[in-house]
């Protein structure tokens, strides 16, 4: 390099990190003596398709209603794209689309009439409304039903119409409270496909459900709440890693397995050995163990076995174990 050439110093990057789509800090809601939401700290990034999971009474609807500005928190704060749900409620309403778990539909109205009505509520100019209504109907796959009476639509179609309604003002963040509940498997798959399309359109989608396995292939991140408290937030795969108590192996020992059980029970890495339906279930204390000693020790002790395999603990089983089926 020529000694006189100017030194190029790269400009310092001053870009602020992107705003979270949703951030709650110490979010709490009490109903009389009952704490429905207990100091919830949750961050949801823009562009996430986020699963909000919990059993009945866990606090999902309470959280979504607070984020939708329909319910005041008792303590703590919640922000949607930086807007405080209490102090800037109007700004929050502009950026969200909230689909409650139960919503009344106007059975005697036609599909387009219904959406046009909500378009007018959001002050979409009348000249633009027809196109907007067509766009959202296409998005949810209801274009062919535009002239139908709402009362004549199937449950799945009514759910999709509900989704079309919350899309009418092109919100950035969707809060969907159990949008697939009561739908048959095909309608569920259709609903999930629409949500994936909305994610491709760069929307942030928060979807609640009490079935973790239903969302495992859909969502990139999930939060699990139980009795108003956050017990997990992160990638779906992390649920199993964080929540499963330890590795589980099954061993098939023909005939009497009591000696095998006795030998394995003496190992410090193992927490429990039990016979279940002619198999021996071996539970390890953690995930961070090398289980290769298992066949070695059996062979050394002269114990014959005809099968040995790792238990692929189902996600739903992990979830049930974590939440213990507690309801309030």
Ligand X SMILES: Nc1ncnc2c1ncn2[C@@H]1O[C@H](COP(=O)(O)OP(=O)(O)OP(=O)(O)O)[C@@H](O)[C@H]1O
The phi and psi torsions of 153 (rounded to 5 degrees) equal -85, 150
The option from Mg ion, ligand X, none interacting with 210 (CB < 5 to 8 A, set by class) reads ligand X
23 touches Mg ion (CB under 5 A): no
The contact mask relative to Mg ion for 33-62 (x = CB under 5 A, - = no) is ---------------------------xx-
Q: Which is nearer to Mg ion, 29 or 60 (CB)?
A: 60
Quick count: other Cβ atoms within 10 Å of Cβ 224?
Answer: 24
257 touches Mg ion (CB under 5 A): no
What is the C-alpha separation between 162 and 159, in angstroms, rounded? 5
Retrieve residue 75's tokens: 């303590």
Q: Which is nearer to ligand X, 119 or 179 (CB)?
A: 179
The option from Mg ion, ligand X, none interacting with 154 (CB < 5 to 8 A, set by class) reads none
The contact mask relative to Mg ion for 213-252 (x = CB under 5 A, - = no) is ----------------------------------------
197-236 residues in contact with ligand X (CB under 6 A) are: 210
40 touches ligand X (CB under 6 A): no
300 touches ligand X (CB under 6 A): no
247 touches ligand X (CB under 6 A): no
Retrieve residue 325's tokens: 């089926």
68 within 8 A of 96, measured Cβ to Cβ: yes
What is the C-alpha separation between 8 and 32, in angstroms, rounded? 64
123-182 residues in contact with ligand X (CB under 6 A) are: none
The option from Mg ion, ligand X, none interacting with 246 (CB < 5 to 8 A, set by class) reads none
**Per-residue CA distances from 141 to 114, 137, 144, 146, 203 (Å):** 16, 6, 8, 10, 18
Burial class (CB in 10 A: 0-12, 13-18, 19+), 270: buried
- CA nearest to 166, candidates 141, 136, 204: 136
What is the C-alpha separation between 96 and 282, in angstroms, rounded? 49
| β partners of residue 226 | 229
1: which DSSP letter?
A: -
52-111 residues in contact with ligand X (CB under 6 A) are: 54, 56-62, 101
246 touches ligand X (CB under 6 A): no
The option from ligand X, Mg ion, none interacting with 159 (CB < 5 to 8 A, set by class) reads none
Can you give the binding site for ligand X, defined by CB under 6 A? 31, 34, 36, 54, 56-62, 101, 210, 328
Can you give the binding site for Mg ion, defined by CB under 5 A? 60-61
């Amino acid at each position: 390099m020529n000694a006189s050439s100017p030194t190029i110093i790269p400009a310092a990057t001053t870009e602020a990190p992107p705003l979270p789509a949703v951030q709650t800090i110490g979010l709490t809601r009490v109903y009389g003596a009952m704490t429905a939401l207990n100091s919830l700290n949750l961050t949801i990034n823009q562009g996430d398709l986020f699963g909000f999971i919990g059993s009945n009474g866990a606090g999902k609807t309470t959280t979504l209603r607070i984020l939708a500005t329909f319910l005041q928190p008792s303590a703590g704060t919640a922000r949607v794209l930086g807007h405080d749900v209490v102090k800037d409620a109007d700004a929050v309403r502009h950026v969200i689309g909230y689909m409650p778990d139960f919503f009344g539909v106007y059975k005697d109205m036609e599909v387009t009439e219904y959406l046009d009505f909500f378009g007018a509520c959001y002050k979409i100019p009348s000249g633009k409304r027809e196109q907007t209504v067509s766009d959202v109907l296409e998005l949810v796959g209801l274009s062919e039903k535009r002239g139908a009476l709402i009362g004549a639509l199937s449950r799945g179609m009514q759910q999709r119409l509900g989704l079309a309604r919350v899309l009418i003002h092109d919100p950035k963040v969707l809060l969907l409270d159990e949008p697939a509940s009561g739908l048959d498997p095909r309608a569920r798959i259709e609903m999930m496909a629409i949500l994936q399309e909305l994610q491709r359109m760069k929307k942030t989608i928060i979807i609640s459900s009490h079935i973790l396995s239903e969302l495992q292939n859909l969502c990139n991140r999930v939060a699990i709440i139980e009795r108003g408290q956050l017990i997990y937030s992160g990638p779906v795969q992390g649920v199993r890693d964080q929540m499963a108590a330890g590795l589980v192996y099954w061993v098939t020992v023909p005939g009497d397995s009591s000696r095998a059980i006795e030998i394995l029970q003496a190992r410090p890495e193992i927490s429990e050995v039990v016979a279940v339906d002619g198999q021996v279930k071996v539970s390890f204390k953690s995930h961070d163990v090398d289980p290769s000693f298992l066949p070695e020790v059996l062979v050394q002790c002269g114990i014959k076995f005809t099968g040995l395999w790792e238990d692929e603990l189902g996600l739903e089983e992990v979830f049930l174990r974590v939440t213990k089926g507690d309801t309030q």
